[in-house]
Chains A and B, each alone.
Chain A
Amino acid sequence: MRSFTYERAATPADAARAVASHPNAKFIAGGTNLLDLMKLEIETPAHLIDVGQLGLDRIEKAGDGIRIGTLVSNTALSAHERVREDYPVLTRAIQAGASGQLRNKATTGGNLLQRTRCIYFYDTNMPCNKRAPGSGCAAIGGISRQLGVIGTSDACIATYPGDMAVAMRVLDAAVETIRPDGTMRSIPIADFHRLWGDTPHIETVLEPGELITHVYLPKPLGGKQFYAKVRDRRSYAFALVSVAAVIQPDGTGWVAFGGVAPKPWRVPEADAMLPHGAKAVVDRAFADARPTEDNAFKIPLARRTLAGVLADAKA
Chain B
Amino acid sequence: MKFEEPAGQNLFDRAKIVGKSTPRIDGPLKVSGRAPYAYERHDVAPNQAYGWIVGSAIAKGRITAMNLADARRAPGVLGIVAATEHKPVGTSRFNHAPLFGGTEIAHYHQAIAVVVAETFEQARAAAGLIRTEYADGEGSFDLAKVAPGAPLASEKLPDYNRLGDFQAAFASAPVTVDQRYTTPDEAHAMMEPFATIAAWEGDALTIWTSNQMVAWSKRALASILGMPADKIRVDSPYVGGGFGGKLFIRADAVMAALAAKAVNRPVKLAMQRPLMFNNSTHRPATIQRVRLGAGRDGRITAIAHENWSGNITGEDGENATLQTPKLYTGANRLLENRTAQLDLPEGNAMRAPGEAPGHMALEVAMDELAEALGMDPVELRIVNDAKGNLPGEPEMKISDRNLERCLRTGAERFGWSARKAAPAQMREGRKLVGLGVAAGYRAAPTQKSAARVSLGADGTIAVETDMTDIGTGSYTIIAQTAAEAMGVPLNRVRVDLGDSLSPVSAGSGGQWGAASSTAGVYAACVNLRRMIGEKLGFDGDAATFANGHATLGEQSHALSDAGALSATGEMEFGAFQKEYDIGTYAAHFAEVAVDAYTGETSIRRMLSVCDAGRIINPLSARSQVIGAMVMAAGATLTEDLHVDKRFGYFANHDLASYEVPVHADIPSQECIFLDTLDPMISPLKAKGVGELGICGPGAAIANAVYNATGIRMRDYPLTLDKYLDRLPAIA
Contacts and interface: CB of A to CB of B under 8 A. Distances in A.
Nearest to B643: A143
Q: A2, A119, A307 — which one has the most chain B CB atoms within 10 A of its CB?
A: A119
Nearest to B638: A232
Contacts of B725: 300
Given A39-B124, A142-B651, A304 B665 contact: no
Given A119-B657, A307-B731, A232 B599 contact: no
Interface residues of A, number: 43
Contacts of B174: none
Q: A143, A234, A277, A300 — which one has the most chain B CB atoms within 10 A of its CB?
A: A234
Contacts of A231: 600
B598 to A, nearest CB: 5
Contact of B599 (A234, A238, A277, A304): A304
Interface in A237-280: 237-238, 240, 277-279
Interface stretch (B143-151, B465-473, B716-724): B716-724
Interface string B695-731: 0000000000000000000000101110011010011
Contacts of A125: 57-58
Contacts of B654: 122
Interface in B579-612: 595, 597-600, 602
A234 B662 contact: yes
B659 A307 contact: no
Nearest to A117: B656
A126 B647 contact: yes
B430 A143 contact: no
B363 to A, nearest CB: 23
Given A1-B121, A277-B731, A297 B662 contact: no
Interface string A285-315: 0000000000001001101110110011000
Contacts of B549: none
Interface string A124-162: 011000000000001001110110000000000000000
A95 B653 CA distance: 26
A119 B277 CA distance: 13
Nearest to A294: B721
Given A119-B657, A232-B638, A304 B662 contact: no
A305 B597 contact: yes
Q: B128, B646, B665, B721 — which one has the most chain A CB atoms within 10 A of its CB?
A: B721
Contacts of A181: none
Given A2-B128, A126-B647, A234 B665 contact: yes
Contact of A117 (B58, B125, B598, B657): B657
Interface in B228-276: 274
Contact of B727 (A138, A278, A304): A304
Given A230-B720, A234-B664, A308-B430, A142 B646 contact: yes
A114 B212 CA distance: 40
A33 B643 CA distance: 26
B419 interface: no
A233 B666 CA distance: 10
A237 B430 contact: no
Contacts of A39: 124
Interface in B605-653: 637-638, 642, 644, 646-647, 651-653
A233 B657 contact: no
A205 interface: no
B651 A120 contact: yes
Contacts of B637: 232-233
A126 B652 CA distance: 12
Given A1-B124, A126-B647, A311-B597, A297 B721 contact: yes
Nearest to B127: A41
Contact of B595 (A122, A279, A308): A308
A301 B125 contact: no
A125 B430 CA distance: 44
Contact of B659 (A40, A232, A303, A304): A232
Interface string A153-181: 00000000000000000000000000000
Nearest to B660: A233
A230 B600 contact: yes
B730 A307 contact: yes
B76 to A, nearest CB: 11
A143 B644 contact: yes
Contacts of A141: 646
Contacts of A236: 662, 664
Given A1-B124, A304-B730, A311 B430 contact: yes
A308 B595 CA distance: 9
B125 A304 contact: no
Contacts of B665: 233-235
Contacts of A279: 731
A110 to B, nearest CB: 18
B520 to A, nearest CB: 41
B644 A41 contact: no
B68 to A, nearest CB: 17
Contact of A305 (B124, B598, B662, B731): B598
26 contacts: A2-B125, A3-B75, A3-B125, A117-B657, A122-B654, A122-B657, A123-B274, A141-B646, A142-B644, A142-B646, A143-B644, A145-B642, A232-B717, A233-B661, A234-B662, A234-B664, A234-B665, A235-B662, A235-B663, A240-B721, A277-B731, A297-B724, A303-B730, A304-B599, A305-B598, A308-B430
Which 7 pairs across A and B sit closest by C-beta, in order of nearness? A308-B597, A234-B664, A125-B57, A235-B664, A297-B721, A143-B642, A307-B730
Interface of B: 57-58, 75, 121, 124-125, 128, 274, 430, 595, 597-600, 602, 637-638, 642, 644, 646-647, 651-654, 656-657, 659, 661-665, 717, 719-721, 724-725, 727, 730-731
Interface of A: 1-3, 39-41, 117, 119-120, 122-123, 125-126, 138, 141-143, 145-146, 228, 230-238, 240, 277-279, 297, 300-301, 303-305, 307-308, 311-312
Given A234-B662, A235-B665, A301-B599, 15 more contacts: A2-B125, A3-B125, A39-B124, A117-B656, A119-B652, A143-B642, A143-B644, A230-B600, A233-B659, A277-B731, A303-B730, A304-B599, A305-B597, A308-B597, A308-B598
